[in-house]
Chains A and B, each alone.
Chain A
């Protein structure tokens, strides 16, 4: 964009404004639901609704209730640390969706890739006997295993798309449910089910458990290094994984924006046929793009599982992980900018922390934050319209602004489906 353009007319500024507007509308809708429920319910009242609304907006800084029963506010290291911890896998799944979207693919397969990452990272971390290898190496093997598994899993819809022209959305949905059943199957016949602690056999061991002489011992396994973050945010789950996730975001940004490879990927996304005409192998790039997206999702699972303080409920054949799906709002809200993903992921986890506070402190529950997220995604679906509206409102006397065709944020969406006669 040239420098002469008015500030509010710039594409990037309009994107940020559109996202902020979506967030505000989403939060307002959540507040409205709470208000209506509070006012119409017999048990709740306007007072509780007001408390709920304040928690929706500022739950991160809630410190519970004071002796008089009023909500208290202030710095809450535990909440902030947990927010960063939750943001860690979300950054990865958000990157996965964003990166695929930039190359013209809608990666709704993130949940399945995430599950495959879970399967492999846990199996490697728990399968290698403690002591046979240094802990750091086991961690690294497990993480890289997750990346690889995700890449392979993501490549399946990629190949179906590239060679058989099957719509990647449908293929991804199918592979999601295949993964859910496959992971359940593998864990159900594995020896990783927690039989040491009572009533926990429906969960897989935390990775802090290690295999010592054929039995699992807590403390002998691996866990991501805390890197001092537990001192900054005492009592929270945060660990060094968040830094790794941020590094990945920067890496994806550099790859997409500063390398020839990234340029080729984006070219295929904008117009597959034109890219091929320019000598770019479109098939190879579609497969690679989905593989990288898959690796990123599964990497999120690796970081989450290898934290050492998370447990995986293995009988997952009926449900897909929310972290995978939430990569979609994270990416859309960030307009698929890898650096933006860091912030939107943190925002999403802030919402979920607010939701927890809402559950703990009031009669409302955390699902209202999912409603808010859904509203934001819904608005993201027509961010184009919002952007056009913003452009019209903030028009700075540029007569040709309206005459020019509206900018397309989803370059390949329509073209892609037109070509996909064989869905």
Chain B
């Protein structure tokens, strides 16, 4: 326990006598009373008598340092410390402790913040442009020299992007077909038009939802995985190692991933289309539309152009997701959260790009009357 006693001497000096163990447990109880004693009489010189202080830890020394460097009209001195307390106390330079020597930076004003954000966005865009250039060069090189592609890596990545994604793609597509068919069959039944659910499902799944849902799943699974994988390699200096070996990280890390995504995504899209239609067909069974009738109606409603219009998108989507995932990975900075940030940014940018690309496709198909 610690205690403090305040007394005023006839010469005007105030004495604060501290006693006991000054540690993290006892200092809180005397911190305020001691400071009040200082502030009550700002003009009186103060002597802090530490003769009875038995021991000090960090908190105790902090109290003594704080008293000694207290800003007031009259001086404060700490006296009669025991030798061991004195040794601890003398480790610190009071002048350097008076204020924070490395204060947190002041928040910027609105204008500088806008400037900084603009700079960040423009730098991001510039990086994107130079990445697209490097990627185009690497892909052109891969097409001209197929033997230079690390095919072993391509097959390994194909497994992760394609085969391993089958269950989740199957589940989501099946449910999508099922729900879409059910939601549209209920109102259409009122008009006796439930057979046209096959038309609706066929067109929406083949032209739009099949490729888009597969691509969104790909962005969440593989886009994030690419960013995290390459990001970890960046943090571990593996990308630096490639660079100093004279091997281009884009050719070495990005090309195989883009090829794998381009090979697998269209196949996954085919599979997703099929499973979604199967889900829809199953729902329609419960509305007394037999499978044969459903598929006959589907056959009459959609043609190969509808299918190709959707399927063509899957190649573009695959390219965008893989490229942005790899780019975010290569942009990874240092620090524990960097890889997570890259993965998040890969998914967000991937989905934004998907939606933009899908909009462009919709407009193009409208103009071209496809």
Q: Do A and B bind each other?
A: no
Residues of chain A whose beta carbon lies under 8 Å from any beta carbon of chain B: none
